Amino acid sequence: MSPYARQFASQLEKPDLDLITGLPPTVAIEQRISRGGGKSTVGTVTETYHFLRLLYAKLGVQHCPQSGEPVISQTPEAIGAQLGKLLKKEKSLRLLSPVLKARKGFHKEYALAA
Summarize the confidence of residues 6-12 as an average pLDDT: 80
Mean per-residue pLDDT for 29-36? 70
Helices (H), the chain: 3-6, 42-45, 49-59, 76-89, 108-113
Residue boundaries of the structural domains of the chain: 3-112
Positive or negative: CA dihedral 44, 48, 54, 59: negative
With a CB cutoff of 8 Å and minimum separation 6, the contacts of 46 are: 29, 30, 32
Helix (H), strand (E) counts: the chain: 5, 0
Q: Is the pLDDT of residue 67 over 70?
A: yes
Q: Name which of 10-14, 54-58, 90-94, 110-114 the model is least confident about.
A: 110-114
Which pTM value belongs to this model?
A: 0.37
Query: Looking at residues 66-92, what average pLDDT do you find?
Result: 91
